[in-house]
Every structure is written in C-alpha cells, then in structure tokens.
Structure 1
Amino acid sequence: MKKRLKDEGNETVTNCNALKMIAADGKKRLTDVANTEQLLRIIQSIPSPKAEPFKVWLAMVGRERIEETVDPEQAIDRALETYLKKGYSEEWVHQRLLAIRIRNELTDEWKKRGVEKGKEYAILTDEISRAWSGMTTRQYKKLKGLKKENLRDNMSDLELVLTMLAEASTTDIAKVTNPQGFSENQDVARRGGKVAGIARQALEAETGKSVVTSQNASNFRQLVTDIVEDAAVLPDVRWNRRRDGGM
C-alpha cells in the first residue's frame, strides 16, 4: 500500500507519523498513524470493492461542499437535517442555527476591528464565557464531561440563550463604542458577557436553581448512536436513492 501511494505521487504516507503503540505481543512498536484527512486520502487509493462505498460518499460530500459554496443556504438545510438525525428537537435546532448566526456576526465585528482569528478569538470567547457563566470554555467543557465535542451542541436551552445574549450584547456594544485592536475588544467582551451574567443571576434568584448545568446532549436529548454505526452503509443507501430518482 505504501509503495502504491508513493508511485501515485501521494505524499500522505510521507506525512504520516510513527508512534509507539502496544502491539499484539504486548510490546510497544512504531506504528504508522494518520489523521482523518490522511485516512480518507488513503481510502481513495485502495483498489477494493469494499472501499467503493466510501469513495462514492467522498465524491458526494465533495459535490455537496461545491453546492454549498454556490448556494450557502444549502449548508443551513444540511445542518438542520444533521441535528435532527442526532435526535435534537426542531425547536432546539432552530435556536442553535440562530446562535451560529449571532456568533458569526460577532466574529465579523472582531475581524473588522483588528482582532486576529485563532488565539485572540479564543481569548475573547473565554472572556465572554467567564463573564456570564463564571467559567472559561475549557472549564465549561470539563464540567459537562466533554472532550472534542462542541460545547454549544451540549448546552441546554437556557445556556444557549444566555450565550446568544452575551455575544449579541458584545456585538452591539462594539458597534456603539467602536473598539480597535485586541485590548479594547477584550474590555467590550467582558461587558457584553456581564449583560448575560446579570440576566443569569436574576433568573437563578427567581427559580432557585442554577442555569449552568453539568448535563450534556446525552442527558437532555436522545443522541442516535446508530447513525454512527450505520455510517458505513449510509453512502450506499443515499447513492441508491439518488440513482432511483429519489432525494
């Protein structure tokens, strides 16, 4: 397989790292490892009928991404479909999509005001989160027992609403005060987050219970795990539906 990839001019194997992993004999031996992108590229080069469904799926995903570039609304429709398949309620999904729009409006403001994407975005996001919830993003994920999962996909309705309020407030304050650069936007992020923090405290005083919760998606809505288990056959099903004139 390595030789075939090299003969094709594929540099995936060259870019793969070797890590010491426990082998069948119980000893640690150097083993080739790859990330998701590298694994998918390797699958493309496997000359086996068993790999064909994955190749069809990769082609389909590539076509969908091109369609989304031409018509961004299709990306929204597919996001809605994906969340529903995972077991989220339609009401929550629409709220989540609204949260994405509000987040994008905030990052657009940051970009216009000289904040650098990446580390500075992350720091400002933490400032907002700390101001309303009392925790950074990392601390919040730890509370919910999350690792790579998206924090906002694991928020309750109220947590998501307060996150939106915090970010929308930050955007509005920025438009009025016109902060420039990281430091000035950091102050605005704290102020925007504080607006939602005050709302959170007022609600908790009325209800007597905390808005911030350790519960995640597996607790407050059904995540359909067999979607993942059926992922290998999904390409065949969708391909056959298209070929038969279906969706």
Structure 2
Amino acid sequence: MTNLKLFENKQIRSDWNEEEQEWYFAVVDVVAVLTDSADAKDYWYRMKKREKVSGFDLSTICRKLKLVANEGKKYKTDCATKQGLLRIVQSIPSPKAEPFKQWLAQVGAERIAEIENPELAQTRIID
C-alpha cells in the first residue's frame, strides 16, 4: 500500500510492509527535501558511492520497492525504514540537513540519559 507523507509541504512516498509491521520511505524523496538538489537521484547515487569508499554501503539498509512516480508508473525505488533513514540522513552533507542531525543528537543524548537514570524517563512520561 503506497502512501504519501508530507514533510515541509513536500511529498515523501512510503509503503507499509504488513509482514514486518513497518513503513518504508523513498530515500530519494527524503534526499530531495533535505538537500534541495536539482537531481535527487544523482545526489543519492553519488552519496552511496562516497559512503561505500568510506567503508559503509548505504544500499545494505535499503530495499527496492515499486513506488508510483510522478507520471503514474511504478518503478523500483530505494526505500528504507525509519532506522535506515536516520543513518542515511547522517551522511547528507547539506546545511538543510543539519537541524535534523542536531535534533537526532539531542534525542539520542536524552535517551542515553534515561537509560543511565530511569527516573528521567518516568518524569518525561508524566510531563
């Protein structure tokens, strides 16, 4: 079931995997939103090449799913879960992605603090 999500008034194609009970999101759509690239597909291609040279293959956290494109046809598209997208966003060297990375760092730090001190988690839940 293909679905559209909106982020900053831009569409992010997504697909629900019933077996895994998980949403998969079109990586090129997220790249387009976070980079303002004229060609998000090319940006994603070059990003995968760069990261592979660095020792991590971003393709390993993606799955090719057939999603509907603008012209109404379905094409195989790299898609990732929320966790995979978080990893991909870390690799985007764009000023537009920086606020999102800062937010991820803050949330991560808060969760680590809650693991170290469970009372913090209880306080957050109460608030």
Shorter chain as normaliser: what TM range? 0.5 to 0.7
- Which residue of 54, 77, 80 maps to 1:34? 80
Structure 2 portions without partners, runs of 5+: 1-46
**8 Å contact kept, 2:51–2:57:** yes
Matches within 5 A, 1:139-218: none
Q: Deviations over 1:120-167 (max 9, x none)?
A: xxxxxxxxxxxxxxxxxxxxxxxxxxxxxxxxxxxxxxxxxxxxxxxx
The one-letter code matched in structure 1 to 2:123 is D
Aligned to 1:64: 110
Whichever structure has more helix as a proportion of its residues is 1
Deviations 1:28-83 (A, max 9, x none): 110111000010111111101111111111111121122112110001112223xx
User: Larger radius of gyration, structure 1 or 2?
Assistant: 1
Consecutive unaligned residues in structure 1, runs of 5 or more: 82-247
**Which protein has the bigger strand share?**
2
Q: What value does the CA root-mean-square deviation take over the aligned residues?
A: 1.4
SS in 1 for 2:124: helix
2:92 pairs with 46, 50, 64, which one? 46
**Aligned equivalents of 2:126, 2:58: Cα separation in 1:** 33
Q: Does 1:11 align with 2:57?
A: yes
Per the alignment, in what secondary structure is the counterpart of residue 10 of structure 1? coil
Taking the aligned partners of 1:80 and 1:50, their CA distance within structure 2 comes to 33
After the TM superposition, list the runs of 4 or more consecutive aligned residues in structure 1 that deviate by more than 6 angstroms.
Answer: none
**Separation (CA, whole Å) in 2 of partners of 1:22 and 1:4:** 28
- How do 1:225-240 and structure 2 match up within 5 A? none
CA distance in structure 2 between the partners assigned to 1:25 and 1:70 by the alignment: 50
| 1:4 Cα offset (Å) | 2.1
Between the aligned partners of 1:63 and 1:23, the Cα distance in structure 2 is: 37
Distance in 1 (CA, whole Å) between partners of 2:126 and 2:82 is 24
Match of 2:125 in 1: 79
> Is the 8 Å Cα contact of residues 65 and 77 (structure 2) preserved in structure 1?
yes
Question: Residue 48 of structure 2 contacts residue 58 of structure 2 at CA under 8 Å; is this kept in 1?
Answer: no
1-side partners of 2:78 and 2:110: how far apart? 31
Identity %: 57
* CA contact 1:2–1:13 (8 Å) conserved in 2: yes
* Alignment check: 8 A CA contact 2:113 2:120 kept: yes
